[in-house]
Amino acid sequence: MKQKTRVAVFDFADCEGCELQIANLEEEILDLIEIVDIVSFREVMKEHSDNYDIAIVEGSIMRPMDEERLRNIRSKAKILVALGACATIGGVNKIRNQWMHDEVIKTVYGDAPIHRNELFNVFKTKAVNEVVPVDYYIHGCPIDRDEFKHVITSLALGKKPEIPNYPVCVECKKNENICQFELGNFCLGPITRAGCKAICPTHNSPCEGCRGLIKKAETKCVWEVLERYNLSYEDIRRRCTMYNYGKEECSVDE
Ligand code: SF4
Ligand code: SF4
Ligand code: SF4
């Protein structure tokens, strides 16, 4: 009998909410473990093995010690999957990259004697692919559980998972929502990768871009939206700060 694909889950700087989404699959996890063996997942099990095929990595990389650990994980994995915005794009952890490192440390820890402690030896926040090659991405803050199942099932069956590269607006229109711009809000749906079923505008909140920016934002379409609502490129750049600070795609349509 063919050995099941071995999967290990790891976390770095994050809130562990994406791992919680996996744990929240509850009974549906039984379908997954028909085809994969979960050999390491600190949030839900005590067992650990370094013998795995797929490494799923959640969280941002903040310290030299994180880089070393991540390289070690990469060296053992045939496939590495970045899980959630903290890992795929740096996410909310990149907000602090706007300020000088010393300024951030001083604001958070004041005069506490932390300077010789390597746990606090942080550099500018990095997404996982800024340290090691990433094979696949599961986007979102938090991730969508159905998409997680789709990606892991596809990989276990030797298939390439399809991830949308069109904007959230497409899913939003399918849901027949009133556009957030019409309600006076600023929504990043036109330049954000779909796949979340447009959950935020469907629940009357503008999109904040947690799934990252689409590679080829429709320039004309985005400019039409900006013009219609009297907004500027600078407004877009500011709105991108929460999840996409420093992303080049933000300026692709400048
Ligand atoms: S992407 Fe969001 S939910 Fe997932 S670990 Fe990061 S902060 Fe938490
Ligand atoms: S801009 Fe936002 S609210 Fe409007 S259609 Fe696009 S995703 Fe929906
Ligand atoms: S609507 Fe935007 S912010 Fe909300 S989950 Fe989807 S991509 Fe993330």
Task: Find how far residue 79's CA is from the centre of its chain.
Answer: 17
In the numeric block, which tokens belong to residue 72? 């070690």
The pLDDT score that the predictor gives to residue 253 is 35
pLDDT along the chain (254 residues), means of 10: 90 97 89 93 93 98 97 98 97 94 89 87 94 97 96 96 92 97 93 95 97 76 84 82 76 37
| Residue minimizing CA distance to atom 6 of ligand 2 | 169
Kindly report, residue by residue over 194-224, the tens digit of the pLDDT: 999 999 999 999 999 999 988 766 667 777 8
CB 193 within 8 A of CB 218: no
Tell me the CA–centroid distance for residue 98 and ligand 3, in Å: 23
In the numeric block, which tokens belong to residue 124? 């500018």
180 lines ligand 2 (CB under 6 A): yes
Tell me the CA–centroid distance for residue 60 and ligand 1, in Å: 9
Q: Which ligand is nearest to the CA of 179?
A: 2
Q: Which atom of ligand 2 is nearest to the CA of 201?
A: 3
The pLDDT score that the predictor gives to residue 252 is 38
The pLDDT score that the predictor gives to residue 55 is 98
Tell me the CA–centroid distance for residue 141 and ligand 3, in Å: 8
> Where are the extended beta strands (E) located within the chain?
5-11, 36-41, 54-58, 79-83, 136-138
